[in-house]
Structure 1
Amino acid sequence: MTDFQRQFFARLNIKNKEIVSFKDLPNIMYAMSQSVPFENLNILENNFKEISKENLKEKILINNRGGLCYELNPTMYYFLKDSKFDVHLVSGTVYNAANSIWAVDSGHIATVLQHHNELYLIEVGFGSYLPLSPVPFSGEIVHSVTGDYRIRKETTEKGNYILEMRKSNEFLDQSPTDDWAIGYAFYLEEVNVEKANAAQKIIVEHEGSPFNKVPLIVKLTENGHASLTKDNLTIAKNGKKTKETVTEEQYKNLLHSTFGITLNF
């Protein structure tokens, strides 16, 4: 077992496993969603580092921080690679359904895994929208507490596959919908970690980036999810959503108590 695997298991509060099987992946993905928040604080502190296995280990596994897609998905990728899975990183572009436009180009990074000659998308870095298990390229629907997910082969200006999702009313206190929405488009071709660094550069610098302006911290909880900004804490629990205003002092306390993040203010 590698040091990265040991640190990964410790970060997720799960027992070390010498051999990780494909059947173990849903439990591991769920544990990651409960332990590692989706957050952009390093960008706002202007304190981000190059994306590398060593830097991700230090930030996310040792220092108990979270990150954005280009940090969370490569962290899972390195763990899966060390666990002897056939995996590669892929690049995508998120679709902004609210405005019916593509978000910043190539701003998303995910992992593709091959198992028994079948391809699966491994997604652990898409905010609250987490399948919590591998999504097969066969088009089969994956059901998660956060909604339903499937992959469709379709060539767009942003890729040759699409991750589609259908939101869950139980999870997000929204009306259930029969309509599938595009999460993001992606190319199946392998990209290296330099593409993750390019995604970071785009998200940090682009004026259209949603993550370089205000703090956002999101994490799944046992029966819903929690989302924190500088001004508000939103909790979705058993399908009921509450939103409360927070003071600066409460914000700092919540970072630690709810999301496990300690910052040097």
Structure 2
Amino acid sequence: MDINVYLQRINYAGHVSVTLESLKELHRCHVMAIPFEALDVQWKRPIRVDLEDIFDKVIVNNRGGLCYELNYLFAHFLRTVGFDVTMVSARIFERGEFGPEFDHMALIVRLEEEEWLLDVGYGDLFIEPLKLRSTEVQLDQFKDYRVEQQPDGRFLLVEALKNSERFRNKYSFDLVPREVSEFVEQCLIKQTSPESHFVKNIICTIPTETGRKTILNNTLKVKSNNQTEQLKIESEEQMLEILRDEFAIDVMHTKERVMV
């Protein structure tokens, strides 16, 4: 892995050190620079949990990706520069229940006698790492979070809008170290199952300093300073222009259709 190319891709200009300050800035830069997107599912391009493929796609060709791509890549990068990283399985809470094991990949970093939850591959989530063993509400850029330890030893991530006391479940996870091969089956299901959110929908999203930009099917939604603007996407050409101009994803050369 070319560390300098990676750092350039995420717009990280500082010195990388195995410190909490550096970890927080790396996480922030990663989330702010690389979108969460499942465009390859719509384009019928297989997503392989292969490090070389992911590096070429995300870092060299300025794409985004799913959790299995982005968190796996970030984990490898962090290990390369000296961090103690574990990949863990998370079960996303949706429609009143938790999904299957390996539904989502998250990361745990052990640093300075503390454990931190990292996740650069969820979509709309925290911008900086969260302290794992803390009962306090942790303030993030746009939302508040809490990591709750459950009686069975698992952990539950919950979030709330700023200044709200109504927290909602995001996902449940444990600290069992996982190998990337264990996520392959769920990664395939998310690309092929008719019930998959990514099969049903075009999605691409990235935070900004003032909010978030999101494509969901034929709508671009831009949130900024608590104001939201929406634009209906009328054509494939317009979709490709928005991907290029708003998300720095240039796929004008592709012949695969983007619109559903």
* TM superposition score normalised by structure 1: 0.88
- The alpha-carbon deviation at position 16 of structure 1 amounts to 6.0
Partner of 1:172: none
- The alpha-carbon deviation at position 105 of structure 1 amounts to 4.5
Is residue 98 of structure 2 the alignment partner of residue 110 of structure 1? no
Partner of 1:149: 145
Is residue 156 of structure 2 the alignment partner of residue 162 of structure 1? yes
The partner residue of 2:181 within 194, 198, 201 is: 194
Specify whether residues 17 and 199 from structure 1 end up closer, same or farther in structure 2 by C-alpha distance, changes over 3 A only: farther
* Contact 2:89 2:101 (C-alpha < 8 Å) held by counterparts: no
* Contact 1:40 1:68 (C-alpha < 8 Å) held by counterparts: yes
Gap runs ≥5 in structure 1: 169-175
Q: Which amino acid aligns with 1:213?
A: K
Tell me the secondary structure at the aligned position of residue 68 of structure 2: helix
* Contact 2:31 2:127 (C-alpha < 8 Å) held by counterparts: no
TM-superposition CA deviations, 1:174-212 (whole Å, max 9, x none): xx5202211101121000111232331131133332111
- The alpha-carbon deviation at position 17 of structure 1 amounts to 3.0
Cα distance between partner residues in 2 of 1:104 and 1:213 = 19
Tell me the secondary structure at the aligned position of residue 253 of structure 1: helix
Partner of 2:90: 92
Q: Which amino acid aligns with 2:204?
A: I
Tell me the secondary structure at the aligned position of residue 41 of structure 2: helix
Is residue 65 of structure 2 the alignment partner of residue 78 of structure 1? no
Specify whether residues 7 and 140 from structure 1 end up closer, same or farther in structure 2 by C-alpha distance, changes over 3 A only: farther
CA-based RMSD of the aligned residues comes to 1.9
Partner of 1:250: 238
* Contact 1:104 1:202 (C-alpha < 8 Å) held by counterparts: no
117-126 or 205-214, larger mean C-alpha shift:
205-214
* Contact 2:107 2:118 (C-alpha < 8 Å) held by counterparts: yes
Gap runs ≥5 in structure 2: 256-260
TM-superposition CA deviations, 1:119-162 (whole Å, max 9, x none): 11111112112242343323333211231112111156xx8111
* Contact 1:131 1:149 (C-alpha < 8 Å) held by counterparts: no
Matches within 5 A, 1:1-265: 3=2, 5-15=3-13, 17=15, 19-96=17-94, 99-103=95-99, 105-155=101-151, 160-168=154-162, 176-248=163-235, 249-263=237-251, 264-265=254-255
* Contact 1:160 1:186 (C-alpha < 8 Å) held by counterparts: yes
Tell me the secondary structure at the aligned position of residue 194 of structure 2: coil
TM-superposition CA deviations, 1:102-124 (whole Å, max 9, x none): 24553100111111222111111
Task: Using the aligned pairs only, state the percent identity.
Answer: 24
- The alpha-carbon deviation at position 223 of structure 1 amounts to 0.7
* Contact 2:194 2:200 (C-alpha < 8 Å) held by counterparts: no
* TM superposition score normalised by structure 2: 0.90
Q: Which amino acid aligns with 1:184?
A: Y
Cα distance between partner residues in 1 of 2:189 and 2:148 = 26
Cα distance between partner residues in 1 of 2:50 and 2:204 = 22
TM-superposition CA deviations, 1:204-234 (whole Å, max 9, x none): 1333321112210000112100001341110
Cα distance between partner residues in 1 of 2:173 and 2:85 = 15
Q: Which amino acid aligns with 1:39?
A: E
Cα distance between partner residues in 2 of 1:202 and 1:17 = 39
